[in-house]
Amino acid sequence: MVSRYHTPVLTWIHSAANAELEFSYLPFINYHLPSHFMRRAIYPGSFDPVTNGHLDIIQRGCKLFDEIIVAVLVNPEKTAFFTIEERCDILSEVLKTIDRGDCHVIVEGFEGLMVQYAAEREANAIVRGIRAISDYEYELQMALMNRRLQPSLETVFMMPAEEYSYVSSRLVKEVFQLGARVDGLVPALVEQRMREKIK
Ligand SMILES: Nc1ncnc2c1ncn2[C@@H]1O[C@H](COP(=O)(O)OP(=O)(O)OP(=O)(O)O)[C@@H](O)[C@H]1O
Ligand SMILES: [Mg+2]
């Protein structure tokens, strides 16, 4: 007869009690941050334009970090709707309207290698949003490459509220340019700036 002390639950409790011992055998190095450390994250993206999905992720990130640097990428692979200056300007405006708690949120233009930028800014995490499984493959590749380049830099994935899980900048621009309303998907200021842009 199997002893009741070998139920899965008790086995788990047993291994949790020995967690300290077991962790020492894990084949990677843990990078612990001192408790007084300023937790600074970078949230990189094109933000062309910023959507309510992006803002949802930033708002959630504010619960985890002391400072978030929203890094607006100059992406040569994408044809931009707004210039980098316009995107930074719009972001700075709409960020004033969200609940940031005690988190300090700043906006910067950025070009180059993410891990190098993170090191310059003394950031210890990269924030990324995952909408669907389609995001996962690309995001996983990026996260693992960044980890290879800089093992102490963690990538933190966050999921948006369900109503934003299909919202992308590309889709917003696409439907807007075909004449559809995009209210509810982007802040009112973004829709207004998009109208001005196509005049
Ligand atoms: N609606 C959303 N919910 C959660 N995460 C999001 C959302 N939109 C973008 N993100 C995430 O924000 C980060 C920056 O994304 P990016 O600026 O490329 O936005 P995008 O909407 O994917 O734009 P594009 O359509 O031009 O690719 C990525 O990690 C992306 O997965
Ligand atoms: Mg994208």
pLDDT tens digits, one per residue of 144-184: 999 999 999 999 999 999 999 999 999 999 999 999 999 99
Q: Contact at 8 Å (CB) between 164 and 53?
A: yes
Residue position matching structure tokens 């802040």: 187
Q: What is the per-residue pLDDT for 78?
A: 74
Tell me the average pLDDT of the chain.
Answer: 88
Q: What is the per-residue pLDDT for 172?
A: 98
Quote the CA–CA distance of 77 and 69 in Å, as a whole number. 23
pLDDT tens digits, one per residue of 60-69: 999 999 999 9
The amino acid occupying position 7 is: T
Percentage of the chain beyond pLDDT 90 is 76
CA-nearest residue, atom 4 of ligand 1: 129
Encoded tokens for 100: 């940031």
Mutate to test the pocket of ligand 1, among 162, 163, 169 (most ligand atoms within 8 A of CB): 169
Q: Contact at 8 Å (CB) between 56 and 164?
A: yes
Instruction: Considering only residues 74 and 26, tell me which one the structure prediction assigns the higher pLDDT.
Output: 74
Tell me if residue 13 falls in helix, strand or coil: helix
Domains, the chain? 2-31 (no CATH), 40-197 (3.40.50.620)
Q: pLDDT-based confidence at 26, cuts 50/70/90?
A: low
Kindly state the helix (H) or strand (E) to which residue 41 belongs, with its residue range. strand 40-45
Cα(164) to ligand 1 centroid in Å equals 10
Mean predicted confidence (pLDDT) in 137-145: 97
Q: Contact at 8 Å (CB) between 113 and 146?
A: no
- Packed helices 52-61 and 84-95: angle between N→C axes, nearest 10 degrees: 60
Write down the catalytic residue from 40, 46, 54, 87: 54
User: Which residue intervals of the chain are DSSP H helices?
Assistant: 8-17, 19-23, 52-61, 84-95, 114-120, 133-149, 169-177, 188-198
Instruction: Please give the model's pTM, rounded to 2 decimal places.
Output: 0.86
pLDDT tens digits, one per residue of 82-110: 999 999 999 999 999 999 999 999 999 99
Q: pLDDT-based confidence at 129, cuts 50/70/90?
A: very high
Quote the CA–CA distance of 188 and 182 in Å, as a whole number. 9
Q: pLDDT-based confidence at 189, cuts 50/70/90?
A: very high
Could you give the count of Cα atoms lying within 13 Å of 139 in the half-sphere of its Cβ?
Answer: 20
- Best CA proximity match to 72, nearest among 59, 60, 90, 57: 90
List the end-to-end C-alpha distance of the chain, in Å, as a whole number: 80
Q: Contact at 8 Å (CB) between 196 and 83?
A: no
Q: Is 131 among the residues known to form the active site?
A: yes
Q: pLDDT-based confidence at 75, cuts 50/70/90?
A: confident
